[in-house]
Structure 1
Amino acid sequence: MTVLDAYCNIGGAGMGFWLAGFGVVGVDILDQPRYPFPFLQGDAVGAIAAHGRRFDLISAGPPCQFDCTLTAGTNSARRDRYADLLEPTREALESTSRPYIIEQPPGRASRRMRVDLTLCGEMFGLRVIRHRNFEAGGGLLLDQPPHVPHRGRVAGYRHGQRYDGHYFQVYGSGGGKGSVPEWQQAMGIHWTDVRREIAEAIPPAYAELIGRQAAAQLGGAPASRAA
């Protein structure tokens, strides 16, 4: 089985699909020298439309800056710098007639997609909360696991006061958000030590869960692999 990992960034999703038994090819507009699988640099929407039919599954996490809560609120004056990629991505995915996944963080973009699955780091014993929503298409069905209650606070500063907590804030660089090794451990990402790359990824455990559900529906046998 094969998956096209569109908007692949450093490969958080790609690693999860690989752990679930898929051969992975990534595509991103920016060069990703630490991406751990075969990689094509180019426009993700164009790559999906041109090559998506060759894959058993397509995963796409378009950048969310156009619709994210921060851009729409605090940084709203900068919103016109970002392209709205959600609808063009969905159109390209639907044109392939292949099973697909769209991933987005909670917020404005998620209100423009059908949320078939919501995942949280605590479901996998990770030290991030990092809710992410997923829309499934092309006949793919996803089962929603129970949402596990969170264990206390996220560590860091709030209004000048430092709080300890079980979870790390994996974004930005200030506010007591944790060290690179702590981020790597919290996310399950160990093949890069670049903060920005870790911050823009999803935990591989999310895509592994989706990949195993997809593999069962596609008739593939999940592999046993160690990250």
Structure 2
Amino acid sequence: MNARILPLRRPNGLRVLDLCCGAGGLSMGYYLAGFDVVGVDIHPQPNYPFPFVQADALDYAAGQGHAFDLVHGSWPCERYATVTRWRGNPGAHPDLIGPGRQAMQATGRPWVIENVPETATAGVLRPDYLLCGTQFGLNIRRHRAFETSWGGGGDLLPPCWHRKGLLAFEHKGERAYADAMGCTWMTNLEARKAVPPAYTHWIAAQFLALERSAAA
């Protein structure tokens, strides 16, 4: 566990399990929305800012996922990413989106899957939400698709604004790229695989609104 983990907050009393969490960009969004977060990844994540378990995400979801209020999965995206097609080796990367979805559904808890938009184009992931940094006022273009157990809906966001000079990897290799996403605790290398916390902060707000509506 990272000795620098942020304190528990639990203002809404809910816990989220972040599978394939990486260095915690999306975990941070849930934390800012009021959740306690536990991250799971098969690789060590020394800069992850919350309680962390190094484990196989599918196995952990099967054994522990039911104990959380919301289960999030950022299953590996390399098989569908555009850069993998350019290299001509998509078959060299596992396709865990289907098995991941099944594992999350089996928990009986609400769930969210995040991945690159190419998964939606390929029909592998249903794009209930398609988000970009420019929708949240971030100086970065980074599209991600989200499939949720509740199927979308909720607040509307402004359209993307890809103004001239704004490129997805404009700051590649620079500290400015991680900072532009709001992932200030990460290394440059970790940030290249990260997603801005603003995305799940917003996703969490949609989930909480639906929960309040269902309870009313």
TM-score normalized by the length of structure 1: 0.81
Whether 1:99 aligns to 2:92 is no
Partner of 1:212: 205
The aligned residue for residue 97 of structure 2 is 86
Which fold has the larger relative contact order, with Cα–Cα distance below 8 Å and residues 6 or more apart in sequence? 1
Partner of 1:7: 20
Q: C-alpha distance in 2, partners of 1:142/1:204?
A: 20
RMSD of the TM alignment (CA)?
1.9
Point out where structure 2 has 5 or more consecutive residues left out of the alignment.
1-13
Give the aligned partner of residue 134 of structure 2.
Answer: 122
Question: Which whole-Å CA distance do the structure 2 matches of 1:108 and 1:189 have between them?
Answer: 24
The answer on whether the counterparts of 1:68 and 1:109 sit within 8 Å (CA) in structure 2 is: no
Give, in whole Å, the separation in 1 of the partners of 2:168 and 2:36: 31
Asked whether the 8 Å contact 1:99–1:140 carries over to 2, the reply is no
Number of aligned positions between the proteins: 198
**Alignment-derived partner of residue 180 in structure 1:** 174
- Secondary structure at 1:24's aligned position in 2? strand
**Offset at 1:113?**
1.4
Matched residue, 2:5? none
CA distance in 1, matches of 2:172, 2:112: 31
**In 2, Cα distance between the equivalents of 1:13 and 1:5?**
8
1:69 aligns to what? 82
Letter in 1 for 2:72: S
Identity rate, percent: 40
Q: Distance in 2 between matches of 1:29 and 1:54?
A: 20
Say if 2:120 and 2:127, in contact at 8 Å, map to a contact too. Answer: no
Matches for 1:1-227 after TM superposition, within 5 Å: 1-71=14-84, 73-76=85-88, 78-108=89-119, 110=121, 111-137=123-149, 139=150, 141-143=152-154, 144-152=156-164, 165=165, 167-170=166-169, 177-178=171-172, 180-192=174-186, 194-219=187-212
Q: 1:35 to 1:53 in 2, by over 3 A?
A: same
1:74-119 per-residue CA deviation (whole Å, 9 max, x = no partner) reads: 212x333311111000010111111110011111455211110011
Indicate the SS of the match to 2:148.
strand
Give the letter for the 1:98 counterpart.
R
Deviation, structure 1 residue 18: 0.1
Q: Give secondary structure in 2 for the equivalent of 1:45.
A: helix
Unmatched tracts of structure 1, length 5 or more: 153-164, 171-175, 220-227
Q: Which deviates more from structure 2 when the two are superposed, residues 42-51 or residues 5-14? A: 42-51
Task: For residue 133 of structure 1, give the secondary structure of its aligned residue in structure 2.
Answer: strand
Contact between 1:168 and 1:178, CA under 8 Å: does it hold in 2?
no
**What is the CA deviation profile of residues 38-74 of structure 1, one whole-angstrom value per residue up to 9, with x for unaligned ones?**
0000111111111111111011111111122221x22
Equivalent position of 1:223 in the other structure: none
Q: Distance in 2 between matches of 1:93 and 1:41?
A: 18
